[in-house]
């Protein structure tokens, strides 16, 4: 089976840096994605790591270590609008196609 573990909640101060960790156990693993979801909305793509290392996209960075089955999402210069749920998702082979399996999500609360 596929499973991903991430903290359920994180609180951070506006302007600070926060790291959301994700560990996974996945067969047929290709890479790790991160998605943001605001309450009542659809998930939006943030990043994808296929190789070990750090990928940076503006204020967001994502890291993957395939040997440790571990990744994290780093959010810098936090803004109030960053308050949302963040899901790590493993991209892997599935029934006839590539699939995403999502973690349970981390609810990030940014406080003034």
Q: Does 71 bind another protein (CB under 8 A)?
A: no
Number of residues that bind another protein (CB under 8 A): 27
10 Å Cβ neighbour count for 22?
25
Reference 36, options 110, 87, 108, 111; nearest CA is: 87
- Closest contact distance (angstroms) between CB of 18 and another protein is 20
Look at phi and psi of residue 77 and say left if phi exceeds 0, alpha if psi is from -120 to 50, else beta. Answer: left
Site string for another protein, 7-46 (x = CB under 8 A): -----------------------xx-x-x----xxxxxx-
- Applying CB under 8 A, the residues found at the interface with another protein are 30-31, 33, 35, 40-45, 48, 50, 87, 91, 94-105, 107
């Amino acid at each position: 089976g596929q499973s991903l573990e991430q903290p359920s909640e994180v609180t951070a101060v506006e302007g600070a840096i926060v790291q959301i960790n994700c560990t996974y156990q996945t067969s047929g693993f290709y890479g790790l994605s991160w998605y943001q979801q605001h309450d009542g909305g659809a998930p939006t793509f943030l990043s994808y790591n296929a190789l070990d290392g750090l990928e940076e996209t503006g204020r967001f960075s994502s890291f993957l270590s395939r040997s440790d089955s571990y990744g994290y999402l780093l959010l810098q210069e936090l803004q109030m609008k960053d308050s949302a749920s963040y899901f790590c998702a493993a991209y892997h082979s599935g029934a006839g196609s590539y699939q995403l399996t999502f973690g349970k999500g981390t609810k990030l609360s940014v406080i003034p």
